[in-house]
Chains A and B, each alone.
Chain A
Amino acid sequence: MAKVTIDGIEIEVEDGTTILQAARKIGGDVVPPAMCFYTPLKGSGGKCRVCLVKVTQGSTRDPRPMPKLVASCITQVQDGMVVENTTNEDVLNARKGIVEMLLINHPLDCPICDQAGECSLQDLSYEHGISGQRFEEERRTFNKVDLGPYIQLHMTRCILCYRCVYTADQITEKRVHGVLGRGDAAEIGTYIENVIDNDFSGNVIDVCPVGALTDKTWRFKNRVWFTKPMDAHRDCPTCSGKVTLWTRGEEVLRVTARKDQYNEVEEFICNTCRFDKKEVKDWTIEGPRHIDRGSVISANHYELPVVNVPIVPNLPTSTKKNLPQE
């Protein structure tokens, strides 16, 4: 076990835990954002650099601070480590800089993007970005690419987190897409023009933090915030069959895997569940899905209030938002 202090909060975690995981155990504001790290995917992380934190004390044995900011998603905690995240000016400035970098070639087409409302980059730029824009050069653009009947790739929006590459490596039998090219010309692509075709290919849509990989059965059907997420399941021979249905009225507009508060899927689901079962009668509905964060839906829960949350009627909305959610 290792004792680690993050932003003044002490927690004891198992050896080998990363700083990010330790912070997630604490929860709340001390959790660094993560764009490329994805717990279910081995080897992910370290690329986007938005989770950089300052280690002011390496460990009890070696109390020297780490010279550079470190990526919290891949740095393991040591006993006695002291980490500064939101309390360190350098960290916040570096993060601002990186958000700016992520956005300079991003098309900012949120109004027509299907991911809008549940986009990690949107959240990130609201929470950590700067309001202005200093980049006045021409943006890098790509053509849209069809990756088979279900998935569309809109490379211009991609932030090269490599999550879809790891997913294809670890969930599916054969990966046919990868990163081609280098620098800001690097792109996700298949070589040569290929179709991502296997039972679990749809999961790349779920892991994509931005709107680069979208579900063609859902594209432009509706906005996320108009739909209601419902937990549902079915007997599926290939996967667990536990999904979230995104419905409007009686219509099932979209099926996704169930995601936790960090937008990470709990169980990967198969393409049949995701793309073919779009009728309410296909599913056993369990009830409304609690969306914690990572989606605009978390802003106005329609679920019944949980009993132990005190209902304070006359508070301004901005204060209500900060009430405990459990």
Chain B
Amino acid sequence: MGLKILTEHINVPGIETLEVYRKHGGYRSVEKALKTMSPDEVVEEVKTSGLRGRGGAGFPTGMKWSFLAKPEGVPRYLVCNADESEPGTFKDRWFMEKNPHALIEGMITSSYALGANTSYIYIRGELLFVLRILEKAIAEAYAAGLLGKNILGSGYDLDLHVAPGGGAYICGEETALLESLEGKRGNPRNKPPFPAVKGLFACPTVVNNVETISSVPWIVNNGGAEYAKVGIGRSTGTKLISASGNINNPGVYEIELGVPVEEFIYSDEYLGGIWKGKQLKAVVPGGSSVPILPANLILKTAAGEDRLMTYESLADGGFVSGSMMGSGAFIVFDEDQCIVRNTWNYARFYHHESCGQCSPCREGTGWMEKVLHRIEYGHGHQQDIDLLVSVAKQIEGNTICPLGDAAAWPVAAAIRHFRDEFEWHIKHPKEATAPGAVYRGQLDTVTA
């Protein structure tokens, strides 16, 4: 078993209460940071730790914090992005539900580091029950003097609020989140200005994922250098992985970055192999918006090296033969799964969730969904495949926010790696639309 930074005490009964949480060393980082460290020292520790954003982009957190503008007399905000809605990702929901105080502790320490006196947790609207858990925990923290005025006698004030979203995937994009938090329609903003300069209520703001913020207490307690020892290269620390699909043990796993993908899938400690001993067909390693990889490319890189669970190794090969870490939603497909249907399903999701602000995404996501739907239901034409590639290319990189890219990548990657399956669907519509039919040709000879 690897080191557990986030989930060490997660199964302790009653950990969601302040009493039990403190008994297991909770809120030590608040005391340490507020009483013995300056805000800049906390930022330095986080920088040393090499902690990277766990929401999907993987941007170094310490660097993001140091970019925060600090004009005189203007409030600064820390916003926790708990609007977890990427298909396949469920780590934050699980974590907040089990151990709400860990997030609150992280929020206090991080807010102190950034000099924010008001912080927000923006939580996905569907997670109302988690919101109630968090509110209860926040009330406990207020009562114990861990939030509010003059925290633990240090002179530092912090108000923490939980705000529910309306249930839109797009509000997980940081600027759309800020718009939504301000009470407006959740449309992503044009950048620049970046939130670090002009974010919430036009004040400097940092937006971080739940997991990122929850990692900060451990870094403060044990030092950034200790954190940096875990993991490989620039992928330091541990990561929560939401594993789903045709595997024996689906669930959330905390792994030390650097575990080989093969071990992660097949070892009993983790996913326990493919369900019913079937053959692995493909993996989406980072949530629905990252490129899908066929079995041979997920286990080994194009150069023949073992692929590891790190930001760099998963991205090895770029978009030709690599993928991305994303938010850590590991979706496994066995030999009985239809890639065309799955791609259509993703396209349908992005069509539904596009905010409709900029034209390539608004129109393109719907177009791709309709074409994929046609192919899946046996009405495709041979030129549809090239059409999809071309539409995906027209969307990619031309939109305001990354949702356009997230919609285009899975389609482009599925066609890149499973083109023969698409062709089979188009050439043999009768066989392809029969119940349970799936393309089995060339299962292990799929190449980049």
Binding site for B on A (CB under 8 A): 45-50, 52, 68-69, 71, 74, 94, 97-98, 100-102, 104-105, 134-135, 137, 140, 159-160, 162, 178-179, 181-186
Contacts and interface: CB of A to CB of B under 8 A. Distances in A.
A185 B356 contact: yes
A159 B366 CA distance: 15
Interface string B271-314: 00000000000000000000000000000000000000000000
Contact of A101 (B352, B374, B394): B394
B355 A183 contact: yes
Contacts of B185: 178-179
Contacts of A182: 168, 170, 352-356
Contact of B359 (A45, A49, A181): A49
Interface of B: 168, 170, 185, 190, 351-360, 362-367, 370-371, 374, 387, 390, 393-394, 397-400
18 contacts: A48-B359, A49-B358, A68-B398, A97-B393, A97-B394, A101-B360, A101-B362, A101-B364, A101-B394, A105-B363, A159-B359, A160-B356, A160-B359, A160-B362, A179-B185, A182-B353, A183-B354, A183-B362
A46 B193 CA distance: 13
A105 B64 CA distance: 40
Question: Would you call the interface of chain A mostly helix, strand, loop, or mixed?
Answer: loop
A134 B363 contact: no
A71 B185 CA distance: 22
Nearest to B381: A136
Contacts of B354: 182-184
A160 B185 CA distance: 14
B363 A102 contact: yes
A183 B352 contact: yes
Contacts of A183: 351-356, 362, 365-366
Contacts of B353: 182-183
Q: Which of A46, A50, A178, A182 neighbours the largest number of chain B CB atoms within 10 Å of its CB?
A: A182
Contacts of A52: 398
Contacts of B371: 137
A97 B366 contact: no
Contact of B190 (A74, A134, A137): A74
A46 B400 contact: yes
A273 B36 CA distance: 70
A245 to B, nearest CB: 34
Contact of A135 (B168, B367, B374, B398): B367
A68 B352 CA distance: 25
A99 to B, nearest CB: 9
B373 to A, nearest CB: 9
Contacts of A74: 190
Nearest to B185: A179
Contacts of A159: 359
A267 to B, nearest CB: 27
Nearest to A52: B398
Nearest to A100: B394
Contacts of A178: 185
A47 B357 contact: yes
A212 B359 CA distance: 16
B27 to A, nearest CB: 40
Contacts of B370: 137
B356 A101 contact: no
A244 B393 CA distance: 43
B387 A134 contact: yes
Nearest to A68: B397
Nearest to A48: B359
Q: Which of B351, B359, B390, B399 neighbours the largest number of chain A CB atoms within 10 Å of its CB?
A: B359
Contacts of A179: 185, 356
Given A101-B364, A134-B387, A135-B367, A71 B356 contact: no
A181 B356 CA distance: 8
Contacts of B400: 46-47, 49
The 4 closest A-B pairs by CB, nearest first: A97-B394, A186-B356, A183-B354, A101-B363
A161 to B, nearest CB: 9
B396 to A, nearest CB: 9
A105 B398 CA distance: 19
B356 A97 contact: no
B360 A186 contact: no
A141 to B, nearest CB: 13
A104 B354 CA distance: 16
A50 B394 CA distance: 12
Contact of A97 (B352, B362, B365, B398): B398
Q: Which of B185, B190, B370, B374 neighbours the largest number of chain A CB atoms within 10 Å of its CB?
A: B190
A81 B185 CA distance: 34
B46 to A, nearest CB: 26
B232 to A, nearest CB: 27
B239 to A, nearest CB: 26
Contacts of A69: 397-398
